[in-house]
């Protein structure tokens, strides 16, 4: 009797164990399938993020190209106008020279002198001589501006950077300001306070992207008239030397709620259709990739300051 009870209990336990093993196998398989789906979802999200980041870059480049085109049109316009006027001036000199050549072999007569003086007065030769130097100077300056704008654009949109390179952040800031100047000049006064800072390793094109984004955001925060302040310095933080960039504006500022979300992807305070909400998120990622930090200090009505900290090269680098 006791042996039968033992067998019954044993068989019951064996069956329960078998059911438990089957259930564990089913749960394990379900969990494994869920992990595969999760991995696939993560991969899709990463691909989507890459596409969105690229879309933001292309949108920024489109805006940049429009600004550059506008900026290039101005110097080209007055350069061409000056050259047209210069062509007319040269025609006047040719007429004068032709008259002299036609009469040079003869005796200088009162009639020739009268014709010469009349032609000089008609063509306003005295004014042309006075204006000639300034006109050529302005033309050269205009063409140099075109050259500088194109050069800055190439530096900002430089592709194919794989390795970081030593760069002068003060120079990078100057170049970034020049490229977005077509937007800043209408409503922003720029104040620069550069320190004598060491070179740092960075991807120059990506740093341009971060700085231009901050400069344009400052301009949008100061709708009518504002001041953009950019400063650089070396600062010791937590026993380590950092290159610190401060970008400040005296615009409308941000609330505490906005500051909490400012680096979140897709978050934007701009109207629908203006920006994608990825500018600061991408900037955050770029600075993080450079092993630096970016933070924001802002109060409503009192403006905003972004602080970027980049690590300085060590003696081993």
pLDDT tens across 167-176, in order? 899 999 998 8
Over residues 289-308, mean pLDDT = 87
Beta bridge partners of 293: 309
pLDDT tens across 129-175, in order? 778 777 777 877 777 777 666 665 555 554 444 567 888 999 999 98
pLDDT tens across 80-120, in order? 777 778 778 788 877 877 777 677 666 567 777 778 778 87
Q: Whole-angstrom Cα distance, residue 83 to residue 117? A: 26
Q: Whole-angstrom Cα distance, residue 273 to residue 67? A: 18
Question: Does the predicted model carry a pTM greater than 0.85?
Answer: no
List, in order, residues 6 or more apart from 191 with CB less than 8 Å away: 227, 228, 229, 230
Answer yes or no: is pLDDT of 255 > 60: yes
> Angle formed by the axes of helices 169-179 and 125-156, to 10°?
120
List, in order, residues 6 or more apart from 183 with CB less than 8 Å away: 67, 216, 219
Instruction: Tell me the pairing of strands 293-299 and 240-249.
Output: unpaired
Burial of 86 (0-12, 13-18, 19+ CB in 10 A): middle
pLDDT cut 90: percent of the chain above it:
8
Q: State whether residue 307 is helix, strand or coil.
A: strand
């Amino acid at each position: 009797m006791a042996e039968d009870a033992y067998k019954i209990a044993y068989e019951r336990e064996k069956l329960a164990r078998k059911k438990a093993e089957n259930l564990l196998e089913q749960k394990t398989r379900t969990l494994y399938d869920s992990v595969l789906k999760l991995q696939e979802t993560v991969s899709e999200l990463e691909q989507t993020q890459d596409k969105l980041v690229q879309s933001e870059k292309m949108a920024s480049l489109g805006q940049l190209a429009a600004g550059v085109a506008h900026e290039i049109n101005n110097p080209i316009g007055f350069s061409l106008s000056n050259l047209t006027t210069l062509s007319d001036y040269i025609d006047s000199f040719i007429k004068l020279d032709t008259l002299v050549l036609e009469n040079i072999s003869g005796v200088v007569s009162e009639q020739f002198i009268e014709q010469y003086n009349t032609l000089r007065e008609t063509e306003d030769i005295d004014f042309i001589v006075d204006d000639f130097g300034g006109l050529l100077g302005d033309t050269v300056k205009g063409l140099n501006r075109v050259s500088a704008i194109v050069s800055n654009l190439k530096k900002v949109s430089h592709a194919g950077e794989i390795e970081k390179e030593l760069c002068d952040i003060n120079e990078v800031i100057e170049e970034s300001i020049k490229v977005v100047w077509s937007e800043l000049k209408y409503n922003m006064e720029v104040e620069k306070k550069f320190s004598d800072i060491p070179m740092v390793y960075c991807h120059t094109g990506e740093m341009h992207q971060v700085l231009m984004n901050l400069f344009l955001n400052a301009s949008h925060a100061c709708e009518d008239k504002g001041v953009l302040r950019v400063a650089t310095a070396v600062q010791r933080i937590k026993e380590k030397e950092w290159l610190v960039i401060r970008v400040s504006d005296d615009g409308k500022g941000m609330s505490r709620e906005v500051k909490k979300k400012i680096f979140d992807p897709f978050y934007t305070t701009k109207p629908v259709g203006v920006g994608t909400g990825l500018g600061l998120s991408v900037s955050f990622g770029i600075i993080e990739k450079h092993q630096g930090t970016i933070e924001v200090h802002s109060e409503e009505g009192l403006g905003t300051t972004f602080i970027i900290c980049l690590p300085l090269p060590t003696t081993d680098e």
